[in-house]
Amino acid sequence: MALSVHLLRPWQKLLVGSTASVMTSKWSRCSSVLSGNRVRMVEKSPNSTDPETSQGVCTIHGKQQQQATPISRAVFPPQAVFKRRFSALCGSSEVQEGALIMEKVCLNEAARMVEVEWSGGGVSRFPYVWLRDNCQCPQCFNPDSRSRLVLMLDLDVNVSPVRVEVQGGSSLSVEWPDGHQSQYDRHWLRERCFSTQALSERQRDWHRKTQLWGADLAHNLPKADFPALLTDDRALYDFLIRLDSVGLVLVQNVPCDVGQVEKLANRVAFLKQTCFGKDFEVVTKMNPSDLAFTSVQLGLHMDLPSYNYTPGVQMLHCIEQTTGEGGDNSLVDGFNAASQLKEENPDAFRLLTTVKVNFNYVGTDHHKYFFRTRQNVISLDDQGEVQSITYMDLSRSSILDLPADLVQPFYDALKAFNTIMYLPRNCLSLKMAAGELIIFDNTRTLHGRSAYSPDSGTRHLQGGYMDWDEIYSRMRAIKADLGIED
């Protein structure tokens, strides 16, 4: 018979009188999670302790008991817990805390949570359903693929443990109504703590550590050595960290022939293919599919705003530079420009963060293409922080899906943003020499090019793209491999 009321007796040992049958086959065990059968409990003396472990043990009790005081001190003293941050960059890192001991454990039936009291003070509360869903035994979790085997189809979201105990201070043992046994390691649990402090620590780690910059970055440009990037994982990691935080790195000592952007991308993961193919040659061409393949000025822009899955990062490798005037690249931190716009012209900022702009890109290059998207020029994340910039004059559509009265204010806002971008304090100019490569965040760092004369020798860049998911993944993998601390 299912028990309707289950109340907490904190840190007391209760004995189990289990009537649940232990199922033997893998699938009958898993599917029995569905049943949610509960067992009858017999209370033992309130002050007894577990003779084997001297650790807290408890089970639920079938009769109405005194309601326990809810444990409200679930926030840890910061020095005792989370000495390291569980960076989003390395979400599953181990806690290096030798003295982390589980003192006691108890069921809080009112809250439907297992409560663990730690040696250093503080209590963690783990919801029943979450514990059952995240059982780490080989029937419930495949360690090779690190995948959950428990299907939602089979999960009883109302399941309650029949018995919990701490084993040796280091492992939480839970018995479920169908006899299934789960063990949870103390470090594993601590990394998944639901306390307010743990949640806010983890929330912080999802934020990008952005370093805003202006034109004076030219004196302090993040640089990397190409041969080192190809051979040294630590150098690659440091380079990617700078790429993430600054959004621009100059790579030097790159051989002056094609194929180098692919080599670099392959060290990270691979090139992102686009309508230009795997990579692309930026030279003056007959019948160019894009203005980049001419010698005219290119205004500040991102590449391929007309993609929903816009390339995260762009590389431009200078194989040959014009011997004449021009051909310089301009580079601007779009996040910095957006924050200045927000400060100086909040109405313009609000318009650019709310009004959708159409971008089109139609033509033939690698194949015949027709892209269209609808984007905010400045996109915000769920915390209201600038997340990405989508800006390109040449593929902004003439179809503007706005009420006519909003058009002038929209242009005023766009002009205000553009003016800030081009301010000398914001816009950095760089003329790459052959053997240099710039790599930048395509969703943040806007780039442009001054016009050059096609008669002053060949100008040849090779370009390629990568995605942030691949970059972050590679960074986490290197961080774990090399044991890099934050």
Binding of residue 352 to Zn ion (CB under 5 A): no
Binding of residue 299 to ligand OGA (CB under 6 A): no
Q: What does the block give as tokens for 293?
A: 């393949």
- Which residues have CB under 8 Å from 236's CB, separation 6+? 229, 267, 268, 474, 478
Instruction: Say if residues 189 and 126 touch (Cβ distance below 8 Å).
Output: yes
Binding of residue 315 to ligand OGA (CB under 6 A): no
By rule CB under 5 A, what count of residues binds Zn ion? Answer: 5
Which of residues 175, 244, 303, 333 is near ligand OGA by CB under 6 A? 303
Give me the sheet containing 313-320, strands edge to edge.
223-225, 248-252, 436-441, 313-320, 460-466, 280-282
Q: How far is the CB of 378 from ligand OGA (least distance, A)?
A: 21
Instruction: Say if residues 59 and 9 touch (Cβ distance below 8 Å).
Output: no
Q: How far is the CB of 257 from ligand OGA (least distance, A)?
A: 18
Q: Taking CB under 6 A as the rule, which mask of x and - marks residues 325-364 in contact with ligand OGA?
A: ----x-----------------------------------
Q: Say which entry of ligand OGA, Zn ion, none residue 135 contacts (CB below 5 to 8 A, set by partner kind).
A: Zn ion
Where helices occur in 326-436 by DSSP H, the ranges are: 334-344, 346-354, 404-422
Q: How far is the CB of 345 from Zn ion (least distance, A)?
A: 26
Instruction: Say if residues 91 and 476 touch (Cβ distance below 8 Å).
Output: yes
Tell me the β-bridge partners of 332: 427, 446
Binding of residue 351 to Zn ion (CB under 5 A): no
Binding of residue 392 to ligand OGA (CB under 6 A): no
Tell me the β-bridge partners of 353: none
Which of residues 30, 113, 224, 282 is near ligand OGA by CB under 6 A? 282
Whichever of 34 and 218 has its CB closer to ligand OGA, that residue is 218
Instruction: Say if residues 429 and 328 touch (Cβ distance below 8 Å).
Output: yes
Instruction: Say if residues 194 and 126 touch (Cβ distance below 8 Å).
Output: yes
Binding of residue 449 to ligand OGA (CB under 6 A): yes
Distances (CA, A) of 192 to 63, 87, 195, 421: 32, 13, 9, 42
Nearest residue to 462 via CA among 438, 428, 430: 438
Whichever of 133 and 365 has its CB closer to ligand OGA, that residue is 365
Q: Say which entry of ligand OGA, Zn ion, none residue 449 contacts (CB below 5 to 8 A, set by partner kind).
A: ligand OGA
Q: Say which entry of Zn ion, ligand OGA, none residue 242 contacts (CB below 5 to 8 A, set by partner kind).
A: none
Q: Say which entry of Zn ion, ligand OGA, none residue 329 contacts (CB below 5 to 8 A, set by partner kind).
A: ligand OGA
Q: How far is the CB of 281 from ligand OGA (least distance, A)?
A: 9
Which of residues 303, 333, 436, 467 is near Zn ion by CB under 5 A? 303
User: Please, which of residues 248-287 interact with Zn ion by CB under 5 A?
Assistant: none
Q: How far apart are CA 395 and CA 304, in angstroms?
A: 8
- Specify the DSSP class assigned to residue 274: B
- Specify the DSSP class assigned to residue 334: H
User: Please, which of residues 129-148 interact with Zn ion by CB under 5 A?
Assistant: 135, 137, 139-140
Whichever of 242 and 447 has its CB closer to ligand OGA, that residue is 447
User: Please, which of residues 419-448 interact with ligand OGA by CB under 6 A?
Assistant: 447
Which of residues 292, 338, 386, 420 is near ligand OGA by CB under 6 A? 292
Nearest residue to 472 via CA among 206, 224, 261: 206
Neighbours of 381 (CB within 10 A): 12
Whichever of 56 and 463 has its CB closer to ligand OGA, that residue is 463
Whichever of 126 and 359 has its CB closer to ligand OGA, that residue is 359
Phi/psi of residue 57, nearest 5 degrees: -140, 140
Residue found under tokens 């994340």: 381
- Which residues have CB under 8 Å from 194's CB, separation 6+? 74, 124, 125, 126, 127
Q: How far is the CB of 291 from ligand OGA (least distance, A)?
A: 9
Binding of residue 298 to ligand OGA (CB under 6 A): yes
Q: Which residues are at the interface with ligand OGA (CB under 6 A)? A: 282, 292, 298, 303, 316, 329, 447, 449, 461, 463
Q: Which residues are at the interface with Zn ion (CB under 5 A)? A: 135, 137, 139-140, 303
